[in-house]
Structure 1
């Protein structure tokens, strides 16, 4: 069963929509799915639905709601891509992290005592997943092709839970020097695991469209599923 449900901000001064996919039986844990710059579109909803099929409560918060609610854009359409860049540039990422924390809080409330919550994000969401590992009380975190993580490495001292990062080596938005900085900066952090995907570009694990690379997407998703099964 799927639906949107409103979630209160941490401040309690507003509410934003969260796409929710619930499993057929009692969830074994919850997973927060963090959008790309294209909003909570069909691809992100499909990811939630897949987690629900695997027995998890899955929630995708609409992080662009302060700018425009329910943004749904197509990465393969040039005009949509430009619109997505505009929404990303106007996003206050600190506020987005607080909305992710509010979504984690809502998930815990539904799970009951002792329920664990994982976070997985893509592109912009991959960056926010890393930030969430540093700033929220989630239990496990996964980032796919997160942009600008190399500029966040000073925050890693706050990481106390497992983190998994998927890095395509030919990512047009994360150049080789940024990837090197990530590897070198995180290699001493016992909580963080990095997987490289040789020759692949940004967005290789998108659910649909021209960016998807099927074999690599399945490999990364299997690693993510095993990671959450171990840590949630």
Structure 2
């Protein structure tokens, strides 16, 4: 696996996009969208796992207008600092930055096959909204707090969509998750998956969030979803990319 940082230009400046390349050097592309903690340990860990599965992964630095390169520990102090910082985040501009990143990802020589997106927390909300604008081969949203209020926009999404929630999430109450489940009914492209005993950010390995059993089950669902809609080719001995 190789990594590098590309630069993408927006109307008001440029921002970093962290890239992970699989050992083969090429593969389908996944836009990986950060939590409020930035492109930190959890996002980097997920990117490495996806690259090991054969994907080219791009994670943009969405807080570049506020604090370029922001990374915070997912502990009480990090949560407080990240919430303060993210209070100044322009959500529509973040969606636009992800659209630019997707265009950049699709233009890479290393990306062969389709493209999709995966977001956690803040990124889960952005992944959902981006899917209303850009057709993709697979969209995965983990506990996006904006999704229940935007559930009516689901009719604009034609891409295969997986929505993952924790059923014991204090930030997204179970009755709000039920709103999403009802909106998904009768839509063959949409699947919901709820880990009833898990809270918010349960996939993050930080002690204050992590629910290991729920995280493992949800990741199995997510990778099966990717294998169905955005499959990565099996590694080929001697395969390389100049």
- Deviations 1:102-135 (Å, cap 9, x if unpaired)? 1111111114786311101111111111111112
Higher relative contact order (CA 8 A, sep 6+): 2
Decide which moves more: 61-70 or 186-195.
186-195
User: What corresponds to 2:130 in structure 1?
Assistant: 132
- Deviations 1:198-231 (Å, cap 9, x if unpaired)? 1110111114443212221111111111111211
TM-score between both structures, scaled by the size of structure 2: 0.89
Mapped contact 2:28–2:111 kept (Cα < 8 A): no
Mark the CA change 1:24 to 1:113 in structure 2 (over 3 Å): closer, same or farther. Answer: closer
Inter-partner Cα distance in structure 2 for 1:91 and 1:209: 26
For the pair 1:70 / 2:40, whether they are aligned, the reply is no
Q: Give the C-alpha shift of residue 83 in structure 1.
A: 1.4
Mapped contact 1:104–1:138 kept (Cα < 8 A): no
Mapped contact 2:154–2:183 kept (Cα < 8 A): no
Inter-partner Cα distance in structure 2 for 1:195 and 1:154: 18
User: What corresponds to 1:119 in structure 2?
Assistant: 117
Mapped contact 1:30–1:111 kept (Cα < 8 A): no
Greater helix percent: which structure? Answer: 1
Unaligned 5+ segments in structure 2 are: 231-242
TM-score between both structures, scaled by the size of structure 1: 0.93
For the pair 1:14 / 2:24, whether they are aligned, the reply is no
For the pair 1:58 / 2:57, whether they are aligned, the reply is yes
User: What corresponds to 2:175 in structure 1?
Assistant: 177
User: What corresponds to 2:208 in structure 1?
Assistant: 210
Unaligned 5+ segments in structure 1 are: none
User: What corresponds to 2:234 in structure 1?
Assistant: none
Mark the CA change 1:18 to 1:207 in structure 2 (over 3 Å): closer, same or farther. Answer: farther
- Count residues in correspondence: 229
Inter-partner Cα distance in structure 1 for 2:195 and 2:175: 16
Inter-partner Cα distance in structure 2 for 1:37 and 1:164: 21
Partner SS for 2:118: strand
